[in-house]
A and B are shown apart, each in its own frame.
Chain A
């Protein structure tokens, strides 16, 4: 599993204050607290699958950059809370990822559709897998 594109750079122009506010409100997290230590990214078990590292996503929100919503990262996060226990500033990055997913899901975007899954597979999967998957990734 090679790092996909995790060194993608972000655009530093400040863009959209209301986007930053929305994410703060939905996540309940003070985005300004992050000082970019990268602890969340270094502990993230799924970082290698992400296009932007979790800490970069937080930076993008600080800068009001809505392209955070189009990142793969928010769908790759498995809400394992490794970032939450590591953050020295007390930010729960998993909450931020959830807020970004919710902003997409509430506009009827589904990342995984139940119809796309094979019936035989659905029969063997534990229910908790299917329900949590759909709760997190489907509108």
Chain B
């Protein structure tokens, strides 16, 4: 099955390992992620103000590309797959808004570039995790070659995979999708209370100390739970919890190092894909030591 794939900006820079491992794991599942022929920034955050329809134009333009690709037979479904939580939220919310409010759809169509055909409203936005879930946890289990045995993994959801209610991919009060994935890969899912609390998000740009505080709460819970790894789905969470971990440790002495990986990297590892598909060399902190200790690398 060929599905249209929207990478978004950060998957091409800070989060390359996320993209590489997702495309490789998808192949194992029989899914070919076909990058949009032309794509633009989604805007990263949904325009929450009710009159701010202008900011729907960028996300909706990407959805027009999906309809075109479907018409040309490049992809098999009117589905757009995303990896980044922020892109997922922004694309899905803009789509939901124009589908439920004809006036907003009219405004978006009127203000689109002339060369862009009118958006027909046929596209469904799916996070890659939903594609994985649709394949079925038992089927995923059957594809695993190297069980993640003895690996204690924190499923960290962040915000936008679950919220707002109704837009997220799972129950915001009691999510289980990441736990199910960990289980089907043969790993051990470890619960922490802050698995869907904010990591500090974009405050990391100008309020580093506040971002450190928020990330530290999550990291210290993971350390107390004696976890080996944190598994997540968002490049910004990965930056705040992973790339900034050394910086956080300066403010919070005694915090143990906990590697942070994308869920697709653990899928690639369990499917026994080569190092260039797991992309662990790019993660900060380095997860390879713990994975070697567990005889997984």
A and B interact physically? yes
**Chain A residues within 8 Å of B, Cβ to Cβ:** 1, 25-28, 45-46, 49, 76, 78-82, 84-85, 92, 94-95, 98-99, 102, 112, 116-117, 121, 124-133, 135-137
Q: Which residues of B contact A98 (CB under 8 A)?
A: 48-49
Are B201's CB and A132's CB within 8 A?
A: yes
Is A45 touching B197 in the complex (CB atoms < 8 A)? yes
Segment at the interface with A among B37-45, B66-74, B110-118, B180-188: B37-45
**List of B residues within 8 angstroms of A80 by Cβ:** 159, 163, 197-198, 201
| B interface majority secondary structure | loop
Asked whether any CB of chain A lies closer than 8 Å to the CB of B121, the reply is: no
Contacts of A131 in B (CB 8 A): 9, 41, 43-45
Let me know if B258 is at the binding interface, CB within 8 A.
no
Interface pair B164/A78, CB less than 8 Å apart = no
A125 to B206, CA, bound (A): 11
Which DSSP category, helix, strand, loop or mixed, fits chain A's interface? Answer: helix
Query: Given the interface contacts A26-B50, A46-B198, does A126 sit within 8 Å of B206 by beta carbon?
Result: no
Contact of A78 with B202 in the complex, beta carbons under 8 Å: yes
A136 to B203 alpha-carbon distance, docked (Å) = 10
Q: What distance in Å separates the Cβ of B279 from its nearest Cβ neighbour in chain A?
A: 16
Which residue from B14, B86, B201 sits with its C-beta under 8 Å from A78? B201
- Evaluate contact between A128 and B86: CB separation under 8 angstroms: yes
Q: Given A81-B164, A117-B205, A133-B205, verify A128-B50 contact (CB < 8 Å).
A: no
How far does the alpha carbon of A130 sit from the alpha carbon of B172 in the complex, in Å?
A: 27
B222: Cβ under 8 A from any A Cβ: no
In the complex, what residues of B have CB within 8 A of residue A49's CB? 210
A54 to chain B, nearest CB (A): 13
Q: Considering the complex, give the chain A residue whose CB is closest to the CB of B214.
A: A45
24 A–B contacts, CB within 8 A, in A order: A25-B50, A26-B50, A27-B50, A78-B198, A78-B203, A81-B159, A82-B159, A85-B164, A92-B164, A98-B48, A112-B205, A121-B205, A125-B204, A126-B235, A127-B10, A129-B202, A130-B205, A131-B41, A132-B44, A132-B45, A132-B201, A133-B203, A133-B206, A135-B45
Interface positions of B from 204 to 232, Cβ below 8 Å from A: 204-206, 210, 213-214
Chain A residue numbers with a CB within 8 Å of B134 are none
Measured CA separation A108–B117 after assembly (Å): 34
Q: Which residues of B contact A25 (CB under 8 A)?
A: 50-51
| CB under 8 Å from chain A, chain B span 80-97 | 84, 86
Given contacts A26-B50, A45-B198, A85-B165, 20 further A-B contacts (CB under 8 A): A27-B49, A76-B210, A78-B202, A79-B201, A84-B163, A85-B162, A98-B49, A124-B243, A126-B10, A126-B13, A126-B239, A128-B10, A128-B84, A129-B201, A129-B204, A129-B236, A130-B202, A130-B205, A131-B41, A133-B205
CA distance A98 to B172 in the complex (A): 21
* Distance, CA A19 to CA B235, complexed state (A): 38
